[in-house]
């Protein structure tokens, strides 16, 4: 088979190193591996590829691919690939869900602690050489995760990893999941469906967005949901930026409708330098780095390799995406 590896970005961290493509060649000498590092190379090489290991396959790629049977993504989110032509095609898509659950779960805890301890404000005042003891300690003051209530929106691998860590630190954790028929883990206080979210939001000190991006979750958190949150509540988004109405979020943060937000993802990335989010003292911004592990490419390549072995043997693949559901 011809296998095209096309994982490239304008950001170096998201480019698969050539050494990993070489390791795949050594592990699977029966296959021909092609490595595209630009859009032009991808379009030139995709025509007769049987398999693509790619972060994105857009309409132009799909139109050029005549032999494609399977796409594997090194990411969990594949919403950008699920346009009508792809959904209608027989091409199987698998993803890397679960691979970054632990690192993202720790990120949720880290940024929640930072917001509860007002570290973004403290760092701003440090830069100004301002001893802001009274400002940082003003109500609601320095808070702890122990005794707080957390609502996890999206209870897959990432949501479960985040929720378990918060529960271990003493939070009462509830979650929103589309399928509520399967029981949650013993540490979960309550499991609700998406239509119960408005009722659960006013009880939460921490709202962590961990749901996939689908047609049904875009702008899932808008002005009404933000208005339903507690004034002491903080929002953490480690999912996809399009799940949150950024304009409504800016207004909620400026007005004090919510206490703060930690954002790793945005409606448009990179976040525009003119965005008001950069300058809000109750916002912690990370540049879509919550899911990157020290051994990221080792893990991503290992998962693809296992699925390639299964594909060769005609066995069921891991992490098959339901193209209709969107994840």
Q: Enumerate the active-site residues.
A: 240, 269, 288
The gap between the terminal CA atoms of the chain, to the nearest Å, is 27
Cα dist from 274 to 142, 270, 271, whole Å: 30, 11, 8
Rg (C-alpha) for the chain, rounded Å, is 21
Distance CA 93, CA 96 (A): 10
Residue appearing with tokens 């954002």? 263
Tell me the sheet residues that pair with 53.
5, 72
- Cα 250 to Cα 270: distance, rounded to the nearest angstrom: 17
Q: The tokens 């003891």 sit on which residue?
A: 133
Residue 118: Cβ within 10 Å count: 24
């Amino acid at each position: 088979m011809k296998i095209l590896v096309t994982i490239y970005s304008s950001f170096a961290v998201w480019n698969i190193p050539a050494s990993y493509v070489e390791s795949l060649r050594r592990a699977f000498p029966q296959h021909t591996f092609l490595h595209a590092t630009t859009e032009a190379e991808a379009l030139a090489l995709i025509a007769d590829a049987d398999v693509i290991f790619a972060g994105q396959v857009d309409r132009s790629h799909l139109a050029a691919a005549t032999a494609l049977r399977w796409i594997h993504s090194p990411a969990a989110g594949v919403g950008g690939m699920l346009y009508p032509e792809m959904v209608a095609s027989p091409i199987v898509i698998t993803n890397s869900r679960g691979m970054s659950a632990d690192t993202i779960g720790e990120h949720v805890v880290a940024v929640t602690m930072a917001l509860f301890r007002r570290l973004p404000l403290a760092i701003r005042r440090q830069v100004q050489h301002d001893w802001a003891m009274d400002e940082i300690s003003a109500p609601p003051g320095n808070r702890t995760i122990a005794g707080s209530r957390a609502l996890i929106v999206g209870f897959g691998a990432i949501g479960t990893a985040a929720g378990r860590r918060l529960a271990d630190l003493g939070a009462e954790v509830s979650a929103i999941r589309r399928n509520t028929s399967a029981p949650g883990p013993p540490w979960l206080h309550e499991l609700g469906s998406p239509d119960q979210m408005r009722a659960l939001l006013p009880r939460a000190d921490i709202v962590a967005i961990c749901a996939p991006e689908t047609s049904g979750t875009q702008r899932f958190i808008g002005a009404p949901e933000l208005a339903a949150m507690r004034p002491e509540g903080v929002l953490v988004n480690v999912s996809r930026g399009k799940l949150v109405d950024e304009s409504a979020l800016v207004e909620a943060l400026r007005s004090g409708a919510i206490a703060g937000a930690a954002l790793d993802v945005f409606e448009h990335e990179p976040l525009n330098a003119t965005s008001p989010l950069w300058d809000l003292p109750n916002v912690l911004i990370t540049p879509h780095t919550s899911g990157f592990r020290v051994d990221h490419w080792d893990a991503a390549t290992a998962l693809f390799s296992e699925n390639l072995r299964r594909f060769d043997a005609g066995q069921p693949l891991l992490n098959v995406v339901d193209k209709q559901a969107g994840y």
